[in-house]
Chains A and B, each alone.
Chain A
Amino acid sequence: QQPVQSPQAVILREGEDAVINCSSSKALYSVHWYRQKHGEAPVFLMILLKGGEQKGHDKISASFNEKKQQSSLYLTASQLSYSGTYFCGTTRGSARQLTFGSGTQLTVLP
């Protein structure tokens, strides 16, 4: 079952913050976050494993609440290069197949 992402789209000014949410009705093993620019393949951002962890690098971080089956991606002080469509991908159990959310289109304006 496809995870639900929100919001569907967000427009920011450079330097503003954004939060993208990903939730599932099923128990999750891991959550993967990717960014895809138009006409290109998705680029891996980070992975969060079962255990309620939080990760981050530079100004992008994420959290995974295993009990709530939710993950959030935090983008702080957004840059123009952050524009793109963000997808969360989830796995269940030991299976590695990713089920992707519908995506969140992020546009950062100067």
Chain B
Amino acid sequence: GAVVSQHPSWVICKSGTSVKIECRSLDFQATTMFWYRQFPKQSLMLMATSNEGSKATYEQGVEKDKFLINHASLTLSTLTVTSAHPEDSSFYICSAPPGGEETQYFGPGTRLLVL
């Protein structure tokens, strides 16, 4: 299967700081990538759809000014959590479908802890 990487794998930060998470498709190009958030013992919730060369599409209830998404190339999407607070602590996972495929491959996830 296709490979998606994420960096960092975990991050601890102080409340009020911003954190950037990278999602890369290593062996394919992805015009679209997806960002999910998962709280402990819960399901994955779609946050936003990242579109290469255009604005991201956010799901209802997700603040676009707080969760900034940039998809500057066909292999890289970034999610920046601005002014992070303890309630933003979660497992953030990206996914990407290779061009022409329906299958979505997930990155290994980034665990964020805001103190």
Whether the Cβ atoms of A42 and B44 lie closer than 8 Å is: yes
Whether the Cβ atoms of B1 and A96 lie closer than 8 Å is: no
By secondary structure, the B interface counts as loop
Bound Cα distance from A49 to B101, whole angstroms: 11
Whether the Cβ atoms of A41 and B109 lie closer than 8 Å is: yes
Whether the Cβ atoms of A32 and B44 lie closer than 8 Å is: no
B residues within 8 A CB of A89? 44, 104
Whether the Cβ atoms of A32 and B104 lie closer than 8 Å is: yes
The count of residues in chain B whose C-beta lies closer than 8 Å to any C-beta of chain A is 20
B46 CB-CB contact with A under 8 Å:
yes
Bound Cα distance from A2 to B43, whole angstroms: 10
A64 CB-CB contact with B under 8 Å:
no
Whether the Cβ atoms of B49 and A100 lie closer than 8 Å is: no
Bound Cα distance from A4 to B44, whole angstroms: 14
Whether the Cβ atoms of A96 and B46 lie closer than 8 Å is: no
21 pairs across A/B with beta carbons < 8 Å? A40-B108, A41-B93, A41-B106, A41-B108, A43-B106, A44-B1, A44-B103, A44-B106, A49-B102, A87-B43, A89-B104, A96-B102, A96-B104, A97-B34, A97-B46, A98-B104, A99-B46, A100-B44, A100-B45, A102-B42, A103-B43
